[in-house]
Amino acid sequence: MSGDILIARDGPTATVTLSSPERLNALSLPMWEKLGDAMLHLDADVALRCIVLRGAGEKAFGAGADISEFAATRANSKLAETYGIRVERAMRAISDCRHPTVAMIHGACVGGGLLVASRCDIRIAGESARFGVPVKRLGLVESHVEMQGMLDLLGYANGLEMILEGRIWPAQEAYEKGLVNRVVPDAEVEQEALATARRIAEGAPLAARWHKKFARRLADPRPLTEAERDEAFACFDTEDFREGTAAFLEKRTPRFEGR
């Protein structure tokens, strides 16, 4: 069974579920492709304000790639390159999505599952969650793009420690090394992740998108262009800015419309 990618909407929030519970949500190639399609589709939906990514059930966010299909999809370098291009498309669709993303992490978050989570903006994990990239046991290499999300979070030393040692980290260690933002009791993971998404969705959506865009740009060492500097002040021409300041002065909850 190749599994599926499920999308559910709840007002301004969408939930994307990696669904292959019989394989602990291991990602098959069709699932990678569907995940990329889903994120591109949601990116284009300007009514959205936040996306939550999760695994089906509570045993795993994602237990890596579906190794059972490797004989057909990664049997040699040419096939593996084609496979890698499709995986990279999905990961870029997550990281480049205009909407903020939250990873809701139960249980195993390893290999391909960790690649997905590392591309999200915020990661909420349960106390029994575990993290790792044990590819040393398979003799395969993480590509540049696959490594990038982990290294952005962990840095050079911790990133290489995870990949070279192949050890599975408990949630607390992942938190201490910057891989996850928050660790909560297992029974509270869904509640906390959805509450985080609601808090994001309550804010001005244009401001959230700009902040995400600027954070990505500031990771690039090139000097900002004049146009990029000017964009930081575009918010002052929006209806959301006028609504937000008016609501503050009138001591009421703002009603942002993304305009």
Q: What does the pLDDT profile of the chain (259 residues) look like in tens digits?
A: 579 999 999 999 999 999 999 999 999 999 999 999 999 999 999 999 999 999 999 999 999 888 888 889 898 999 999 999 999 999 999 999 999 999 999 999 999 999 999 999 999 999 999 999 999 888 889 999 999 999 999 999 999 999 999 999 999 999 999 999 999 999 999 999 999 999 999 999 999 999 999 999 998 999 999 999 999 999 999 999 999 999 999 999 999 999 9
Contact 247, 204 (CB under 8 A): no
Question: Do β-strands 122-126 and 101-105 pair in parallel, antiparallel, or remain unpaired?
Answer: parallel
Contact 180, 188 (CB under 8 A): no
Contact 247, 255 (CB under 8 A): yes
What pLDDT is stored for residue 65 in this prediction? 84
What pLDDT is stored for residue 79 in this prediction? 93
Taking domain 4-201, whether its CATH number is 3.90.226.10 is answered by: yes
| The pTM of the whole model exceeds 0.75 | yes
- Give long-range contacts, CB 8 A cutoff, 24+ apart: 219-222: 219/152
d(C-alpha 110, C-alpha 256), whole Å: 38
What pLDDT is stored for residue 55 in this prediction? 97
d(C-alpha 178, C-alpha 182), whole Å: 10
What pLDDT is stored for residue 16 in this prediction? 98
Report which of 137, 187, 205 is spatially closest to residue 167, judged by C-alpha positions: 137
How far, in whole angstroms, is CA 29 from its chain's centroid? 18
Q: Output phi, psi for 48, to 5 deg.
A: -75, 150
What pLDDT is stored for residue 214 in this prediction? 96
Cross-strand pairs, 205 = none
What pLDDT is stored for residue 157 in this prediction? 96
Q: Enumerate the CATH 3.90.226.10 domain ranges in the chain, comma separated.
A: 4-201
